[in-house]
Amino acid sequence: MSAQNQREQWGSKIGFILAAAGSAIGLGNIWKFPYVAGENGGAAFVLIYLICTALIGLPVLIGEILIGRSTSKDPVGAFKSLSGSKFWASVGGMGVIAGFIILSFYAVVAGWSLGYIYEAVTGKFHAFPEPSQAANHFGDLIGNVYWIVGYFALFMIITMFVVVAGVQKGIERGSKIMMPILFALIIILVIRGVTLEGAEAGIAFLLKPDWSLITGKSILEALGQSFFTLSMGMGAMLTYGSYMSKKDNIPTSAVNIVILDTSIALLAGLAIFSSVFATGLDPTAGPGLIFHTLPVVFTKMPGGYIFSIVFFILLSIAALTSAISLLEVITAYFVDEKNWSRKKAVMVFGGITFLIGIPSALSFNVLSNFSIFGLSFFDFADYITSNIMLPLGGLLISVFIAYRWGFGNALANLRNGAENLIDNYPVLVTIWKISVKYLSPVLIFLVFLYSIGIFN
Ligand code: TRP
């Protein structure tokens, strides 16, 4: 409570959008989206992901940001102050825990991206005339415990530095400069990818649905991907919303974030799959997919040496702006609720996240034979957070808004900063209402049931 009046806010209206887009756009779009789409058969998966994003993602995102802005609190404090209930406070708590686990494996992959800056600078990629050599090289690198844990540690340290610097100085400023450059670079990769000989097969893979490949599990993956890529369901967007001013327009901001995030994912998918098929690589290669593919693409383009360096720098920065949003959630919780200093919270929880992430890093080498429910430690951490905890968080956010806080109260708050939109387009209000009251909770619930085989 005491921190309430010294709480920081975003420096400008666009500050929130950029920082939230910075959180949303990251490895989820460029690394994860192509590889899960590849593992789940391509176009049909992509369509389901788009439907999930429109019907569930956007409405729940608006709700999540709104809970944050209405209370100016961390996830636990926000649910507590709107409901006074321990149960709902613990929903915020589940988010804080999910954030921890996500960051622990996310930072491992971000470390690969950091490591690839060095590979690019030292010109390693141009030593791979055969695509399979790039894949083997990646295998060698992640097989090395020192390489994988070292870059993971480096990435965590950088993340902790930025989060200590605080909301405006650290998070906002960085996002403003880097995001547009990343966007431009991805367009260049798309152009190179689709003009490669044999790229059509990759484009078809992304655009022509084969429904026979869709299972309950892949629908859950699509839903999980939609939540993951939008940073939703665990309070990151809630926390960023809590630094927003009451004059900002939440629905418009959310639409912008969804459009930016989704277009980057689709562009990344296009760049990767055209290249994967043109070079005869395997679309189901899993988490290594972009690290197998992109080095090969860089060798095939003029200026590839420079592009490869810039690309991995920007990918690392995109990962950083996402990682800071994850660490920010737990930091906000300890600063707001427990009166810790920002620095102490970051040090303690950054350190703990690193420890939790070590088994994920080791699942590519010394622990590669170890599995939980048939998944490696890394895949398990991803699965339980992305596909279970985030959609469950989204379900609870909709239920909270519709049945606990009350739709009327939520709408009255949402109206701040969005008066024109809400007064002139009542149909949008109706759509949002139907979605948070019925569509989101029911659909998420059905996807859960379907994925565990209830309907088979
Ligand atoms: N959305 C980010 C990405 O796509 C990852 C991320 C950041 C995230 N914060 C999150 C995922 C909160 C889930 C929840 O790379």
pLDDT at site 168: 59
Q: Mean pLDDT in each 10-residue stretch from start to end of the chain (456 residues)?
A: 55 78 93 93 94 96 96 93 94 93 97 96 84 91 96 96 73 70 88 89 91 88 95 94 90 95 95 89 89 87 85 89 91 89 94 96 92 91 93 96 94 93 93 95 88 69
Q: Whose CA is nearest to atom 7 of ligand 1?
A: 322
pLDDT at site 5: 45
Cα(38) to centroid(ligand 1), Å:
20
Query: What three-state secondary structure class fits 192?
Result: helix
Cα(219) to centroid(ligand 1), Å:
19
pLDDT at site 167: 56
Enumerate the domain spans of the chain: 9-451
DSSP string, 242-309: HTS-TTS-HHHHHHHHHHHHHHHHHHHHHHHHHHHHHTT--TT-GGGHHHHHHHHHHHTSTTHHHHHH
pLDDT at site 169: 64
What tokens does 20 get? 């939230």
DSSP string, 107-158: HHHHHHHHHHHHHHHTTGGGG-SSHHHHHHHHHHHHH-HHHHHHHHHHHHHH
Q: What is the number of the ligand 1 atom nearest to the C-alpha of 234?
A: 14
DSSP string, 344-396: HHHHHHHHHHHHHHHHHHHTTTTTTT--BTTB-HHHHHHIIIIIIIHHHHHHH
Between the two ends of the chain, the Cα-to-Cα distance in Å is: 50
Looking at residue 329, its amino acid is: V
Query: What three-state secondary structure class fits 12?
Result: coil
pLDDT at site 1: 36
Query: What three-state secondary structure class fits 44?
Result: helix
pLDDT at site 456: 58
Cα(28) to centroid(ligand 1), Å:
7
Q: What is the number of the ligand 1 atom nearest to the C-alpha of 237?
A: 12
Cα(232) to centroid(ligand 1), Å:
7
What tokens does 257 get? 């974030």
Cα(123) to centroid(ligand 1), Å:
31
Measured CA distances, 357 to 33, 89, 277, 330, 345 (Å): 21, 26, 33, 16, 18
Residues with CB under 6 A from ligand 1: 23-24, 26-29, 102, 228-229, 231, 234, 236, 322, 325-326, 390
The whole-angstrom separation of Cα 164 and Cα 225 is 29
Cα(202) to centroid(ligand 1), Å:
26
9-451 folds as Amino acid/polyamine transporter I (1.20.1740)
Q: What are phi and psi of 114, to 5 degrees?
A: -60, -45
Q: What is the number of the ligand 1 atom nearest to the C-alpha of 23?
A: 7
Gyration radius of the chain over CA positions: 21
Mutate to test the pocket of ligand 1, among 102, 171, 262, 264 (most ligand atoms within 8 A of CB): 102
Q: What is the number of the ligand 1 atom nearest to the C-alpha of 31?
A: 15
DSSP assigned state of 11: S
Neighbours of 363 (CB within 10 A): 25
Q: Whose CA is nearest to atom 12 of ligand 1?
A: 231
Measured CA distances, 252 to 61, 156, 272, 419 (Å): 11, 33, 30, 12
